[in-house]
Amino acid sequence: MSAKITKLSNGAEGVFIKNDRFNTTSISFNFYVPLQKETAAEYALLPFVMTTCSKDYPDFSALNFKLAKLYGANLSASAEKVGDFQMLKIAISTIDDRFALDNESLCDSATELLTQLIFEPKAENGAFCEEDVAREKRKAIEHIRGDLAQKRIYAKKRLIEEMYKGEAYGVAKCGTEEDVEKITGQSLFAAWQKLLSTAFLRVNVISRSMPQGLFDKISEKFESITRENIVDCTYSAPTKAIDKPNTVIEQMDIAQGKLCMGFSSELYGEDAAALTVMCDIFGGGPYSRLFTNVREKYSLCYYCASGAVKSKGLITVDSGIEKENATKAEKEILNQLDIMKQNLFTDEEFQSSIKSITDSFKSYNDSQGLLDAWYSLKIVKDKLISPEEAVQEILNVTRNDVVYTARGVKLHTVYKLLPNDKEVGK
């Protein structure tokens, strides 16, 4: 597998990822914009409005009929947080042209449809259709409320909000319910115009062979658009260490408490392979320190896992606990981190982590969706790194690298979501 970058316009590039394993072609437009409270909700809503209709396909029935004619092409949209930026994805997947009847170019038709959805939306007098906007706003609000209902997601979200108050990374990727309510057809149209003129764009194409003229057709769409003040999304501010960790405690009518802990790391950036390994040994799998000790040996939690955001130099730990075990679990998690710092983890744990991570990276080649996500998230690097190259970076990590990385990890914030003192539900 190989990947090649082609310049499409100012601040826009195409990436062709050659892979012979698939019988479909995947094309995704990935827009990157600053993550800001004032714009997060509008930008997050845009991909979903844009993938339900367009000028020539004014409702979902017409659009769905077109997708059916493309042999059941799949259209998707999403909004994600990538470091200090939002990534807005609009993608289509269709079977390769070699399987089409009468030499029909499905890829050409899919590209034409996708670019029309993006560049020629259903809008009049400088505004998106209010009915379409209202429908997607309802869905967005339901999604936000759904996250609130899932207390594990809610607790992790609250931890990040507390750690990054006043910073981009603390902003919710889809904004707040109140921000969604304020969106109008006119304000969303203005956001769309700004997106096309200022967002950094990466178009990923994953296929057996590069569809002829595809990037040229996309480049033509930008000829009538003034591209200036393009977002530089190659750098996200690292997490700052603090002298005295913060502790935040909230109570709700819940049966199971949540303990989330956030740590800063002196090692950060997409080259920080040692941070990936260190975090994985700490709490990444059934072989990890947190699982085998905090959960299994001491039975202090229902689950306990860690994760790393390399671009931010951030490590998080989240666990489900009984209220009376909150302090014990917190102390034991910190104890396991000290064990990492003292180089007291086992060779078996180290090797299990290396194997688990490399196997995970190798699996990216088994799915177009995973490959698309891989290259979408590697935007903070100036150079494209393939999953195979990332495997080699992991294999080069030593025990000493892990210990050195662990010693640069410092507790930043502890967030506890605990049951009310009164009996749950009363």
- The position carrying tokens 């259903």 is 122
Is residue 180 in some structural domain? yes
Q: What is the pLDDT of residue 422?
A: 62
The reply to whether 201 and 75 lie within a common domain is yes
Alpha-carbon span 163 to 314, nearest angstrom = 10
Is residue 197 in some structural domain? yes
Is residue 299 in some structural domain? yes
Residue 424 has pLDDT above 50, yes or no: no
For the stretch 191-227, pLDDT in tens is 999 999 999 999 999 998 888 889 999 999 999 999 9
Q: Is 322 exposed, middle or buried (0-12, 13-18, 19+ CB in 10 A)?
A: middle
Q: Which amino acid is at 182?
A: K
SS3 content of the chain, % helix, strand, coil (to 5): 45, 25, 30
The reply to whether 216 and 314 lie within a common domain is no
For the stretch 36-54, pLDDT in tens is 999 999 999 999 999 999 9
Q: What rounded mean pLDDT belongs to the chain?
A: 93
The reply to whether 78 and 199 lie within a common domain is yes
Give the mean model confidence (pLDDT) for residues 136-154. Answer: 95
Q: What is the pLDDT of residue 423?
A: 47
Alpha-carbon span 289 to 232, nearest angstrom = 38
Residue 334 has pLDDT above 60, yes or no: yes
The number of folded domains in the chain is 2
In three-state secondary structure terms, 336 is helix
The reply to whether 281 and 406 lie within a common domain is yes
Give the mean model confidence (pLDDT) for residues 273-280. Answer: 97
Alpha-carbon span 28 to 14, nearest angstrom = 10
pLDDT band per the 50, 70, 90 thresholds, residue 380: low
Is residue 236 in some structural domain? no
The reply to whether 13 and 47 lie within a common domain is yes
Q: What is the pLDDT of residue 191?
A: 98
Q: What is the pLDDT of residue 221?
A: 92
Contact between 289 and 281 under an 8 Å Cβ cutoff? The reply is: yes
For the stretch 159-184, pLDDT in tens is 999 999 999 999 999 999 999 999 99
pLDDT band per the 50, 70, 90 thresholds, residue 421: confident
The reply to whether 110 and 40 lie within a common domain is yes
Q: Tell how far CA 302 is from the center of its chain.
A: 26
The kind and range of the H/E element at 27 are strand 24-34
Q: What is the pLDDT of residue 352?
A: 97
Phi, psi angles (nearest 5°) of residue 286 = -65, -15
Q: What is the pLDDT of residue 56?
A: 93
Is residue 230 in some structural domain? no
Domain end marker among 206, 221, 236:
221
Measure Cα distances from 13 to 10, 194, 219, 379, 386 in Å: 8, 18, 9, 11, 17
The reply to whether 276 and 135 lie within a common domain is no
Is residue 231 in some structural domain? no
The reply to whether 209 and 282 lie within a common domain is no
Q: What is the pLDDT of residue 1?
A: 59
The reply to whether 143 and 178 lie within a common domain is yes
Structural domain for 407, as ranges: 246-419
Which residues are bridge partners to 315 per DSSP? 263, 308
The reply to whether 301 and 337 lie within a common domain is yes
The reply to whether 270 and 333 lie within a common domain is yes
Give the mean model confidence (pLDDT) for residues 100-116. Answer: 86
CB atoms within 10 A of CB 193: 12
The reply to whether 171 and 112 lie within a common domain is yes
Considering only CA atoms, which of 278, 329, 331, 282 is closest in space to residue 302?
329
Give the mean model confidence (pLDDT) for residues 293-299. Answer: 97
DSSP 380: G
Measure Cα distances from 300 to 124, 200, 387, 423 in Å: 58, 45, 36, 21
Residue 25 has pLDDT above 50, yes or no: yes
The CATH number of whichever domain residue 145 belongs to comes to 3.30.830.10
Q: What is the pLDDT of residue 381?
A: 62
pLDDT band per the 50, 70, 90 thresholds, residue 11: very high
Is residue 119 in some structural domain? yes
Contact between 281 and 349 under an 8 Å Cβ cutoff? The reply is: yes
Is residue 234 in some structural domain? no
